[in-house]
Amino acid sequence: MLVFFAFVFAIPILAIFYSAFQRWLQHKEKMSQLIAEQTAEKAAQYAAHVERIEARLRVVEQIVTDGGAQTAAQIEALREAPLAAPSAKRSKG
């Protein structure tokens, strides 16, 4: 009687639970991959941002360490540069 119960009820129920567990594992794996992709994208964005900041810092360091005559010209160039950048962005978009 116990063998009959095992074949008729227990084995199909275990198969259903196993199938559900496999689907859950696949879902978790897919979610992990999506999170990893998002994290990589954010890391690339932060790296690009840091690179822009470092470039600006190099300019500031150069201005601070250069002589007075060149400093005024570089400051004026920096004042004009942000005005030109947004218009270039608008024409692309």
**Domain containing 87: what range?**
33-93
pLDDT, residue 10, reads 81
10-residue mean pLDDT series, the chain (93 residues): 76 90 96 96 96 92 74 77 52 46
Within-domain flag for 49: yes
pLDDT, residue 83, reads 52
Q: How many domains does the chain have?
A: 1
pLDDT, residue 69, reads 65
Max alpha carbon distance in the chain (Å)?
A: 101
Q: State the Cα–Cα distance between residues 87 and 74, nearest whole angstrom.
A: 21
Six-digit token string for 47:
């790296």
- Please work out, in degrees rounded to the nearest 5, the angle formed at the alpha carbon of residue 74 by the alpha carbons of 71 and 78: 135
Within-domain flag for 55: yes
Within-domain flag for 77: yes
Within-domain flag for 92: yes
